[in-house]
């Protein structure tokens, strides 16, 4: 009998933000491989006492796949725990490719992305009527190259809400690219370890956020959010709950 690999979105950090399905999968898995550089170790507190746990922070892809192949070959379930939702910068694509080549069954359990924990920490809606109806999720180019059309500078031309992963260590370069299209007074929010006990929120504008971050000493595990939704002032309410708006569930009140 062959086992399987379960890719699990471990959420942004707070163990209470694990989905019920993710909790049960971790609870029942004989083998757990977790991204220890990012995943809150408390998330594994629900693991069975005899579970064999590996921290992938010091492992390469070959070593990870070897464990998956060996353990699933013995009929065991391997819980591969990634931070947030594994579909965003989770590096599961390369693992899935290897599993498919070896005919190893797998499934994916989505999780709460740090993106949404950051929005909660900033007490904001990322898509406000007539302010922004688009969210761009991206990262600056580092050691991992990007298509030229996806540069921060190019994406900034839309002036939509931008959520920038993996860029806090190069905040000044990010700001310089954003300033190509966003005004200097555009609000920016930076959240370190959203939903963790150590959560830290810093607000500013494109004019001063780089200096504030440098003074804070934040170098990693933080997200940058930029756009007018962070400080919209007065804005129009959505049509969904407008008393005069008719939809399939409610007849709108006619103006007198």
The CATH number of residue 182's host domain is: 3.30.950.10
Which residues form the domain of 156?
Answer: 115-230
Structural domain ending residue among the three candidates 50, 80, 112? 112
| CA distance linking residue 55 with residue 202, whole number of Å | 31
pLDDT, tens digit, for every residue of 118-151? Answer: 999 999 999 998 899 999 999 998 777 788 899 9
This prediction's pTM: 0.89
State the average pLDDT over residues 97-118.
97
Residue 236 lies in a domain: no
pLDDT value of position 144: 77
Bridging pattern class, strands 106-109 and 135-138: unpaired
**How much of the chain exceeds pLDDT 70, in percent?**
95
**How much of the chain exceeds pLDDT 90, in percent?**
85
Residue 67 lies in a domain: yes
Residue 158 lies in a domain: yes
Packing angle, helices 171-178 and 209-216, rounded to 10: 170
- Indicate whether 161 and 221 sit together in one domain: yes
Structural domain ending residue among the three candidates 53, 81, 112? 112
- Indicate whether 178 and 102 sit together in one domain: no
- Indicate whether 65 and 155 sit together in one domain: no
DSSP string, 133-183: --EEEE---SSS---GGG-HHHHGGG--EEEE-S-GGGHHHHHHHHTTTS-
- Indicate whether 25 and 105 sit together in one domain: yes
**Count of structural domains, the chain:** 2
Structural domain ending residue among the three candidates 78, 112, 146? 112
Rounded to 10 degrees, the C-alpha dihedral 37/41/44/50 comes to 90
Mapping DSSP to helix (H, G, I), strand (E, B) and coil, where does residue 11 land?
Answer: strand
Residue 256 lies in a domain: no
- Indicate whether 21 and 126 sit together in one domain: no
Residue 195 lies in a domain: yes
- Indicate whether 79 and 157 sit together in one domain: no
pLDDT value of position 119: 98
Q: Are 46 and 10 in contact (CB under 8 A)?
A: no
- Indicate whether 157 and 67 sit together in one domain: no
């Amino acid at each position: 009998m062959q086992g399987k690999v379960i890719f699990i979105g471990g959420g942004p950090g707070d163990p209470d933000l694990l989905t019920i399905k993710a909790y049960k999968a971790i609870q029942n898995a004989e083998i757990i491989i977790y991204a220890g550089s990012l995943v809150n170790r408390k998330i594994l507190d629900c693991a069975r006492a005899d579970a064999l746990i590996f921290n992938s922070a010091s492992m390469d892809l070959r070593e990870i796949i070897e464990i998956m192949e060996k353990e699933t070959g013995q009929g065991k379930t391997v819980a591969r725990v990634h931070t947030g939702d594994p579909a965003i910068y989770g590096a599961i694509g390369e693992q899935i490719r290897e599993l498919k080549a070896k005919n190893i069954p797998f499934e994916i359990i989505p999780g709460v992305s740090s993106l949404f924990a950051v929005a909660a920490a900033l007490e904001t809606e990322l898509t406000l009527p007539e302010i922004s109806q688009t969210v761009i999720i991206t990262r600056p180019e580092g050691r991992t190259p990007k298509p030229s059309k996806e540069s921060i500078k190019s994406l900034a031309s839309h002036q939509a809400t931008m959520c920038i992963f993996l860029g806090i260590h190069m905040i000044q370069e990010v700001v310089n690219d954003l300033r190509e299209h966003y005004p200097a007074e555009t609000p920016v929010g930076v959240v370190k370890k959203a939903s963790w006990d150590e959560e830290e929120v810093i607000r500013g504008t494109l004019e001063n956020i780089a200096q504030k971050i440098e003074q804070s000493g934040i170098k990693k595990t933080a997200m940058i959010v930029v756009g007018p939704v962070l400080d919209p002032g007065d804005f129009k309410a959505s049509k969904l709950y407008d008393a005069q708006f008719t939809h399939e569930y409610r007849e709108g009140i006619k103006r007198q």
